[in-house]
Structure 1
């Protein structure tokens, strides 16, 4: 048993719990007001389920937008499933919470970024994902002012 408290892992667990709570509220009541989410995830992460053509197009990571149109949002203990529209083609996706790299709600300037120990120092700076991969691409690119919390700022 380790004699150190792994605050990084504890923070990641808490942040993923926050995402689960937010998505549960949205699945039960819909998106309130101007809230919308950019969620970037690792498409190679075990348990991610998406169409093969999407995996081919986004072999490393992908950013989805939950805003105007989505359906079948189901939240469970390990992740969530959702159907999104990609060029007028509805596609179901399943994303484990552990696959999430960033979760951003630009309407309230809130964001979370999950750092991994193997990322380069250059990638450790907090930034929004490069942009969504759905029909809201232009609108989403206008939102670059959200604060993203980086766990590295809490490490010594």
Structure 2
């Protein structure tokens, strides 16, 4: 019985740990400087908790923006809960780390992409709404510039 090092799983856990550490710091101290996050997650993940109307409207992926207004950010070892505004209507969300598909901080051109066997890859990102607190649209400029550092787990999988 040959043992192998599961680099893909190790990298996944490390990336989730980094997101947890960043969100822990934001929960304790707020967002520093121009930092803000675009977080895309799988709305059909069994542990995601969002309003029915949101899962109906976004039956695959959904991108949220943590920037100007958010409330109740609580971070655990498994995921985080946060309240965001959707058309000036606050909605609580719970997002487990395993449901996250991308985590981007465009202020420093940093991003992580989690890829899995069940990614469809065929959805049109232009149709996604990005709740941003008091502002109805995403911040000026693209969420992630073309030269952003994006780490993908695909390169570590067999």
Q: TM-score, normalised by structure 2?
A: 0.85
Distance 1:138 1:22, change over 3 A: closer
Equivalent residue of 1:139, what SS? coil
Distance 1:43 1:34, change over 3 A: same
Show structure 1 runs of 5+ residues with no match.
124-128
Measure, in 2, the Cα distance between the counterparts of 1:132 and 1:112: 20
Q: TM-score, normalised by structure 1?
A: 0.86
C-alpha displacement of 1:117: 3.0
Equivalent residue of 1:69, what SS? coil
Distance 1:81 1:2, change over 3 A: farther
2:149 alignment partner in structure 1: 147
Measure, in 2, the Cα distance between the counterparts of 1:77 and 1:96: 9
Distance 1:2 1:50, change over 3 A: farther
1:133 alignment partner in structure 2: 130
Corresponding residue pairs, total? 149
2:81 alignment partner in structure 1: 81
1:126 alignment partner in structure 2: none
- For 1:109-128, what aligned pairs fall within 5 Å after superposition? 109-119=109-119, 123=121
The structure in which a higher percent of residues are helix is: 1
